Amino acid sequence: MHHLRLGLLALALSTLGALGLNATSAPQDREAEAAVTDDEESSRPAVLVTGASSGIGRRTTEVLAANGFFVYAGARKDADLAELNALENVQGIRLDVTDPEQIAAAVATVEAGGRGLFGLINNAGVAVVAPLIEVTDADLEFQFDVNVKGPVRVTRAFADLLIASGGRMATTGSISGFLAWEFGGPYTMSKHAIESFSDTLAAELAPFGVAVGVVDPGNYRSQIGVSMRERLQARGYATEGSRYAEQMEARLSGPGDRDQYDEPDDVAAAFLAFLTDEAPRRRTIVTPNRAEAEMTLRAAIARVAEIASGPQEVFGEDEVLEMVKAALDGAR
């Protein structure tokens, strides 16, 4: 089956552009297309963005607010809420996605606003980087409490409003939902779960006219590494007691602010496209360069090849290639 693997790679890599797996995958001209006039301000459809204080969430909030939406922007800190409230067409909401009381209060705030809710962007997320045989239960629970249980809690709480509007819900995934890397187990496991969450929810909400999607970014500028590094250094994963002390020290000593990466403009544009396109994409991978897109696609294709070349040998190479072609046609 070696030729099958090579054939699949060649076919899929030749269609990177068609799948949107590159640095220009997200639309860049949405601001001109979706602009509204001043007399339409009161009728702007409402969207809730969680984790809106920085990075992807903040940029998505700004882009949506500038393109016809009223944004309820979730954040946890007073200073962040004040900054969000200063933005036009934005209302900050105190929202910790691990706190059921704050989620319920957010629902009450949106209901009181009288705009309903057309869109929900589950963006809040954290990163735990630690060896799987050493990560504590507390850190693993923290990872899943925010990244997996958070979207479930928030979506469940706002489901009635989304169904009433026939709206749309998208979650920030990651190319790590397809990849696996050393010490990234807790984080990549949570992002793999988001892929399943999105596909399952899409099937369950389709009868109610609610579209569900996931935007999977590559490496963009954010603050997620700052809090991650502080938390994990305090846990002692890089101490002499760890089997991986040297490797973890190198991992945690790097820059936490991710300033070396591009601003997440393409990611925000992908969320805008999901909310405004007539036929929104179920899954959009957005990367700052072709290398990250190719790495992600190769990981997905490798799994297909492993399934197809299993001991049962149920399908021949031509059959598998036809399946791939049909899937590409469907994605287009």
Note down the domain range covering 53.
23-288
Residue 284: strand, helix, or coil: strand
Query: Do residue 247 and residue 310 come from a single domain?
Result: no
Higher pLDDT, 68 or 17: 68
Report the alpha-carbon distance of residue 310 to residue 319 in Å, rounded: 15
Query: Do residue 264 and residue 317 come from a single domain?
Result: no
Compute the Cα dihedral for 152, 157, 163, 166 and give only its sign.
Answer: negative
Query: Do residue 66 and residue 1 come from a single domain?
Result: no
Higher pLDDT, 111 or 11: 111
> Is 187 one of the catalytic residues?
yes
Strands 90-94 and 119-122: unpaired
Query: Do residue 316 and residue 177 come from a single domain?
Result: no
Catalytic hit among 72, 187, 220, 237: 187
Name 99's Cβ contacts closer than 8 Å, sequence gap at least 6.
none
Q: Which CATH number is 232's domain given?
A: 3.40.50.720
Query: Do residue 315 and residue 247 come from a single domain?
Result: no
Query: Do residue 206 and residue 324 come from a single domain?
Result: no
Number of structural domains the chain divides into: 2
Query: Do residue 258 and residue 300 come from a single domain?
Result: no
Query: Do residue 194 and residue 50 come from a single domain?
Result: yes
Distances (CA, A) of 191 to 23, 26, 35, 174: 21, 20, 33, 6
Query: Do residue 254 and residue 303 come from a single domain?
Result: no
Report the alpha-carbon distance of residue 96 to residue 18 in Å, rounded: 37
Residue 173: strand, helix, or coil: coil
Tell me the sheet residues that pair with 241.
Answer: none
- 18 pLDDT higher than 50: no
Mean pLDDT over 6-32 rounds to 40
For residue range 292-324, list pLDDT tens digits in order: 999 999 999 999 988 888 777 678 889 989 999
Higher pLDDT, 239 or 108: 108
Instruction: Look at residue 110 in the predicted model and tell me its pLDDT.
Output: 98
Query: Do residue 299 and residue 277 come from a single domain?
Result: no
Instruction: Look at residue 254 in the predicted model and tell me its pLDDT.
Output: 64
As a whole-number percent, the residues of the chain with pLDDT over 70 amount to 80
Higher pLDDT, 230 or 114: 114
Question: Which amino acid, 315?
Answer: F
- 9 pLDDT higher than 70: no
Confidence of residue 239 (pLDDT cuts 50, 70, 90): low
As a whole-number percent, the residues of the chain with pLDDT over 90 amount to 68
Name 258's Cβ contacts closer than 8 Å, sequence gap at least 6.
219, 220, 221, 222, 223, 224, 225
DSSP line for 79-91: HHHHHHHTSTTEE
Query: Do residue 225 and residue 254 come from a single domain?
Result: yes
Sheet with 46-49: list strands edge to edge.
90-94, 70-75, 46-49, 119-122, 168-172, 211-217, 283-286
Query: Do residue 328 and residue 230 come from a single domain?
Result: no
